[in-house]
């Protein structure tokens, strides 16, 4: 479990990093290293060059604006979790981050790194889908924005081109009259989830759901939106029967095959339960926020 030989550079600007990436096809970006170093040590990855982006000043810092939270690529997960400004703008983030790994891992791991890594069981991609966030991307040809719904292609695969990198992750602030919830089931505290559900529901003055956004991790080859379940919720008062119907619809979004931790049937059961529980919590929080 020792990595093979590789070269190592520490660019100080995004442009330099992108140039280094373009110059060596067999290169890989190093952010917090919490996923990458394990793949090197297991010799699953064998890159010729590691481009350490941790010294790029422009990739540091969080901006919380009127409409969105901008998290630059080298911001550590722990910093976002502890930020009161972020929490004030969108409390879903802290709730999700507390389920990502353990404190020592979050101290080094980045939000962008987790999203770029795109593990199908990771929590942050599901969060990005539910919040309808975007990532800012830069490559040799310039910059572009990729919406969450276009980003995740397969387990460990995104729609980023080989020579592009994420410079920031942008997440909309929580909309008014909106409640949130994230729940997962992991075998051990801090593990990747067997299934996790993110729920955001917006209520009108009559307590009707005007918008529901549900996403899941751990149940398919990528994080997924649960659109069929969202459709059940929209327009309803989120009564128990409706929630149960939505949960049943959510079950059918499970496409993961049986694995050693969970059968497909059991994952469907988890998704059902977690959908019911997250939607109920999100609804209650939405009602509270409306009342406040």
Partner 1 sequence: MATAMFGERVQRLADAKLVRGEGRYIDDIPLEGALHVAFVRSPFARAKILSIDCDAAREMDGVAAVYTCDDLGRLDLEMPLLIPHPSLTEPRTQRPLAKGEVFHVGQTVAMVVAVDRYTAEDAIRMVDVDYEPLEVELDLEAAIQDDAPRVHADVANNVAAQFVQTVGDPDDAFARAEHITKIKVQVDRSTAAPLECRAIAARWDDITGELMVWDGTQAPISVRGGLASILGLDEDKVRVTAPDVGGGFGQKVLLFYPDELLVPFAAMQLGRPVKYIEDRNENFIGSSQERTQIHELELAATKDGEVLGLRDSFLHDTGAFIPYGIAIAQVASTSIAGPYRVPNIWVEFKAVYTPTVLVTPYRGCGRPQACFAIERAMDKLADELGLDRFEVRRRNLIRDEDFPYRRDGLVFADGLPLEHDSGQYGKALDMVLEHIGVDAFAAEQEAARAEGRYIGLGLGFYVEGTGLGPYEGSHIRIHPITGKVYVNTGLTCQGQGHETVFAQITADQLGVAVGDVIVVEGDTGVFDWGVATFASRAAVVSGNAIHKTALKVREQVLEAAANMLEAAKEDIVLEDGKAFVNGVPDMAVTLAEVATASNPLRYAFNEAAKTSTQFAPAFNHDGPALGEGDAPGMEATDYYSPPHATWAYGVHAAIIEVDPGLCSVKFKRYICVHDCGRMINPTLVEGQIMGGVAQGVGGAHYERIEYDEDGNPRNANFMDFLMPYASEVPPVEILHLETPSPLNPLGVKGVGEAGCIPVGQVLVSGVADALKPLGIGPLEHVPLTPDMIFQALGGEKDE
Ligand X SMILES: Cc1cc2nc3c(=O)[nH]c(=O)nc-3n(C[C@H](O)[C@H](O)[C@H](O)COP(=O)(O)OP(=O)(O)OC[C@H]3O[C@@H](n4cnc5c(N)ncnc54)[C@H](O)[C@@H]3O)c2cc1C
- Which positions lie near ligand X, rule CB under 6 A? 28-36, 73, 100-101, 105, 109-110, 112-114, 116-117, 119, 122-124, 165-166, 190-192
SS3 content of the chain, % helix, strand, coil (to 5): 40, 25, 35
Q: In terms of CB distance, is 181 or 276 closer to partner 1?
A: 276
**What minimum distance in Å lies between the beta carbon of 256 and partner 1?**
13
Half-sphere exposure of 180 (CA within 13 A, CB side): 18
Q: How far apart are CA 14 and CA 57, in angstroms?
A: 9
292 near partner 1 (CB under 8 A): no
Which of 185, 203, 217, 220 binds partner 1 (CB under 8 A)? It is 185
141 near partner 1 (CB under 8 A): no
Which of 43, 144, 153, 208 binds partner 1 (CB under 8 A)? It is 43
Q: How far apart are CA 16 and CA 47, in angstroms?
A: 19
Cβ 86 vs Cβ 96: under 8 Å: no
Which of 22, 266, 287, 289 binds partner 1 (CB under 8 A)? It is 266
165-172/68-72 β-pairing: antiparallel
DSSP H helical ranges for the chain: 14-23, 36-41, 77-82, 84-89, 92-97, 103-106, 111-117, 123-131, 148-151, 227-233, 240-251, 264-291
277 near partner 1 (CB under 8 A): yes
190 near partner 1 (CB under 8 A): yes
Q: How far apart are CA 100 and CA 109, in angstroms?
A: 10
34 binds, among partner 1, ligand X, none (CB under 5 to 8 A by kind): ligand X
**What minimum distance in Å lies between the beta carbon of 160 and ligand X?**
6
The alpha carbon of 204 is separated from its chain's Cα centroid by a whole number of angstroms, namely: 27
97 near partner 1 (CB under 8 A): no
**What minimum distance in Å lies between the beta carbon of 30 and ligand X?**
5
Q: Could you tell me the two tokens for 176? A: 């008014």
95 binds, among partner 1, ligand X, none (CB under 5 to 8 A by kind): none
8 near partner 1 (CB under 8 A): no
Q: Please give the residue ranges that form the binding site for partner 1 (CB under 8 A).
A: 1-5, 42-43, 185, 187-192, 194, 260-263, 265-266, 268-270, 273-274, 276-277
């Amino acid at each position: 479990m020792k990595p093979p030989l590789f070269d190592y550079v520490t660019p100080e600007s995004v442009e330099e990093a992108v140039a280094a990436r373009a110059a060596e096809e067999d290169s890989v970006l190093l952010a917090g290293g919490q996923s990458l170093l394990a793949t090197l040590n297991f010799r699953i990855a064998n890159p010729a060059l590691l481009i350490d982006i941790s010294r790029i000043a422009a990739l540091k810092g969080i901006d919380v604006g009127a409409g969105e939270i901008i998290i630059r690529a080298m911001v550590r997960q722990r910093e976002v979790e502890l930020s009161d400004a972020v929490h004030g703008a969108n409390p879903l983030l802290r709730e999700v981050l507390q389920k990502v790994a353990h404190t020592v891992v979050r101290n080094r791991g980045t939000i962008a790194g987790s999203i770029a890594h795109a593990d199908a069981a990771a929590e942050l991609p599901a969060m990005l889908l539910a919040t309808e966030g975007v990532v800012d991307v830069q490559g040799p040809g310039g910059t572009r924005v990729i919406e969450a719904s276009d980003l995740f292609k397969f387990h460990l695969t995104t729609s980023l081109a080989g020579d592009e990198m994420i410079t920031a992750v942008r997440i909309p602030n929580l909309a008014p009259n909106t409640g949130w919830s994230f729940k997962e089931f992991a075998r051990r505290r801090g593990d990747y989830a067997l299934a996790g559900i993110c729920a955001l529901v917006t209520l009108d003055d009559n307590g009707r759901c005007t918008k529901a956004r549900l996403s899941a991790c751990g149940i398919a080859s990528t994080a997924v939106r649960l659109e069929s379940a969202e459709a059940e919720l929209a327009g309803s008062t989120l009564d128990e029967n409706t929630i149960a119907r939505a949960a049943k619809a959510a079950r059918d979004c499970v496409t993961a095959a049986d694995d050693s931790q969970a059968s497909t049937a059991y994952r469907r059961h988890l998704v059902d339960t977690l959908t019911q529980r997250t939607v109920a919590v999100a609804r209650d929080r939405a009602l509270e926020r409306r009342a406040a």
